[in-house]
């Protein structure tokens, strides 16, 4: 398993993966930027393009480790379009079991592929931001970054 670290506007992104695919992307508060192994170069390029605003989807071979249910939830997350949000309740309904809301939320929280599998696009049913492994300030930043309406400066 290869590892690389890049700097992003909201912290450092650490990538882990190999020829089987990208296994993990997580955000760190502090880290040392590393040389990017060939196997992780495309993932790093696509994440940087996302932050530059020139990429709204990812086209990467993914290999996250998790249970069958977690992988089902992560697949559902991939279907949430850029610039939109859904609730844990709606995600549960999409997966066919409204009563699985807590299990869906737990699987969402275990998502090992930060940004690439967009768990930040899931919010509370009341529209409030809820838990995010990278912190709510990062979740808000990501949602603002993806917002089709950009707030301009007044002065």
- Closest C-alpha among 29, 39, 30, 28 to residue 2: 39
**Which has the closest alpha carbon to 60: 40, 80, 74, 76?**
40
| 119 is a catalytic site residue | yes
Question: Could you tell me if 128 and 89 are in contact, meaning their C-beta atoms sit under 8 angstroms apart?
Answer: no
Q: Rounded distance, CA 13 to CA 30, Å?
A: 10
Catalytic residue among 6, 27, 105, 119: 119
| Residue 31 to residue 27: CA distance in whole angstroms | 10
Known catalytic residues are 119
């Amino acid at each position: 398993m290869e590892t690389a670290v890049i700097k992003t506007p909201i912290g450092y992104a650490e990538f882990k993966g190999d020829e089987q695919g990208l296994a993990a992307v997580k955000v760190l508060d502090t880290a040392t930027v590393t040389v990017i192994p060939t196997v992780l170069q495309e993932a790093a390029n696509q994440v940087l393009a996302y932050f530059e605003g020139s990429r709204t989807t990812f086209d990467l071979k993914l290999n996250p480790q998790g249970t069958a249910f977690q992988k089902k939830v992560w697949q559902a997350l991939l279907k949430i379009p850029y610039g939109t949000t859904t609730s844990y309740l709606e995600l549960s309904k999409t997966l066919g079991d409204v009563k699985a809301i807590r299990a869906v939320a737990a699987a969402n929280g275990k998502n090992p592929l930060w940004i690439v599998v967009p768990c930040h696009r899931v919010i509370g049913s009341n529209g409030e931001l809820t838990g995010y492994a990278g912190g709510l300030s990062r979740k808000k930043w990501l949602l603002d970054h993806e917002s089709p309406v950009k707030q301009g400066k007044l002065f």
